[in-house]
């Protein structure tokens, strides 16, 4: 069972309608699942598109460390993560 499946099972929740999951590791690394593409990025902001949402990661010295089919890893000094419905 995956980490996210275990959380859903333990809490009785269902898969989010927006189809994405985010884990922020101590403000240094952000892992996101359900990503369709990177909309924009620079050293202070990364915008990721999920099925029904846009995820914005703000910070300093940000880099997109990994981008696979459906997931992304953003590293740096993360100061904020915002989501907005499309």
**Model pLDDT for residues 55-71, shown as the tens digit of each residue:** 999 999 999 999 998 89
Supply the pLDDT for residue 35: 93
**Spatial CA neighbour of 81 closest among 30, 36, 41, 35:** 30
- Tokens read off for 85: 């419905």
Rounded to an integer, what distance in angstroms lies between the CA atom of residue 13 and that of residue 28?
28
Supply the pLDDT for residue 1: 56
Q: Which residues of the chain have pLDDT under 70?
A: 1, 15-18
Supply the pLDDT for residue 81: 98
């Amino acid at each position: 069972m995956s980490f996210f499946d275990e959380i859903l099972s333990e809490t009785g929740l269902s898969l989010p309608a927006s189809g994405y999951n985010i884990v922020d590791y101590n403000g240094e690394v952000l892992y996101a699942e359900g990503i369709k593409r990177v909309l924009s990025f620079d050293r202070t902001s990364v915008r990721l598109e999920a099925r029904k949402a846009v995820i914005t990661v703000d910070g300093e010295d940000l880099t997109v460390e990994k981008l696979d089919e459906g997931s992304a890893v953003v590293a740096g000094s993360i100061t904020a993560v915002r989501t907005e419905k499309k």
